[in-house]
Amino acid sequence: MLITNQETKINIKYLENLSLTQDEVKEVMEGLTSIPKSLPPKYFYDALGSELFEKICNLPEYYPTRTETAILTNASKEIVEITGICELVELGSGSSTKTRLLLSAYDSLGKPWQYIPIDVSGEILKNSALQLHQQYNNLSILGLVGTYEQALWQLPPSCLPQRMIIFLGSTLGNFTYEQSDDLFNEVRDILTVGDYFLLGIDLQKPADILENAYNDSQGVTAEFNLNMLSHLNRCFDGNFDINLFKHQAIYNQEKTQIEMYLYAQKSHNVRLNKLDLDVSFQENEPILTEISRKFNLTKMQDFLASHKLKTVKYWTDENKYFALILTQLI
Ligand SMILES: C[S@@+](CC[C@H](N)C(=O)[O-])C[C@H]1O[C@@H](n2cnc3c(N)ncnc32)[C@H](O)[C@@H]1O
């Protein structure tokens, strides 16, 4: 589906198939039949999941959003001075709230330019695109609703000589090492030499700060985690009872990652009709719903460099909780 309006310079393109893809079926089947059980984190994000994530961003315990916002507040002007006008492609744009700091800096150059937000959650992408259109005069928007893979694969050629792909919120932390490697290979293949990649990453820090951030006192993260099961029920005609699961996040020191789980509160069975799948749970059996890797800044720069993405400059906060790395394809 394509919602388009030439006059207002907004296009929203829905890349998702209305029927389930083989990959979607495979990843959920494999996750629920493996030991331990796991589910892909993209299922957090239906309309309610995106709303709950916005609430998480404003929780007192959840330091990443306000820390990255503070870094972007300081760095945006300098980023624009370094890159000059360019087309911005954002992976997992969500509400684009933090991105506005960058968008304002680019728009103030007074030249026509393009922003391509990509997100699997259509409602939040559409609403934020409409707001951005009201806010910025020089901007045209092409919203792509779908997964990173679908969108990157279908990305049109850049409409400006320079392009920058941005990936904020340490969403990269949800990727395993191998998945990050694949993503950086894709980024490298899409960019041309001289283009930019801007990455926000959460850095390693004491376990108590991390565990508090993902087990907030108001229970919003628990609601967000449990909502994944309701989303799966809708996608796969399932009968998960969210009252039979409990949220808990732990920091795995060895792997330097937060692991978010849903624990079955008693032994029971769940059926997903569209997958023709029956899943049995033992009491206290976990489903791993998300990893959130915490990074070492130098190692990340080396990893980026091994994909020909050379650091131009990086910014951190005074606690060194979070980092923003601007790289250029060489
Ligand atoms: C952790 S949130 C970050 C949102 C925003 N970038 C920020 O920094 O606050 C991750 C975002 O990526 C989107 N997302 C998650 N998995 C995705 C996937 N496989 N493909 C495309 N978007 C995805 C979600 O809908 C959500 O908006």
Tens of pLDDT, residue by residue over 102-155, are 999 999 999 999 999 999 999 999 999 999 998 998 899 999 999 999 999 899
Centre of ligand 1 to C-alpha 283, Å, is 31
Q: Is the CB of 147 under 6 A from ligand 1?
A: yes
Q: Is the CB of 53 under 6 A from ligand 1?
A: yes
Residue 5 has pLDDT above 60, yes or no: no
Q: How many residues does the chain have?
A: 330
Centre of ligand 1 to C-alpha 151, Å, is 13
pLDDT of residue 2: 47
Nearest CA to ligand 1 atom 4: 94
Angle CA 143–148–151, to nearest 5: 50
CA atoms within 13 A on the CB side of 186: 16
- What residue ranges define each of the domains in the chain, with the CATH number in brackets? 22-45+206-293 (no CATH), 88-146+162-205+295-329 (3.40.50.150)
pLDDT in tens, 79-90: 999 999 999 999
Centre of ligand 1 to C-alpha 94, Å, is 6
Look at the alpha carbons of 291, 294, 296, 300 in this order and tell me if their dihedral is positive or negative. Answer: positive
Mutating to test ligand 1, I would choose from 119, 144, 153 the residue with most ligand atoms within 8 A of its C-beta, which is: 119
**pTM for the full model?**
0.95
pLDDT in tens, 288-309: 999 999 999 999 999 999 999 9
Residue 313 has pLDDT above 80, yes or no: yes
pLDDT of residue 22: 78
> pLDDT band at residue 204, thresholds of 50, 70 and 90?
very high
Q: CB within 8 A of 157, min separation 6: which ones?
A: none
Q: Is the CB of 143 under 6 A from ligand 1?
A: no
Burial (0-12, 13-18, 19+ Cβ within 10 Å), 213: buried
pLDDT in tens, 214-240: 999 999 999 999 999 999 999 999 999
Nearest CA to ligand 1 atom 6: 93
Centre of ligand 1 to C-alpha 51, Å, is 12
Q: Is the CB of 42 under 6 A from ligand 1?
A: yes
pLDDT in tens, 231-279: 999 999 999 999 999 999 999 999 999 999 999 999 999 999 999 999 9
Q: Is the CB of 92 under 6 A from ligand 1?
A: yes
Mutating to test ligand 1, I would choose from 15, 28, 39, 45 the residue with most ligand atoms within 8 A of its C-beta, which is: 45
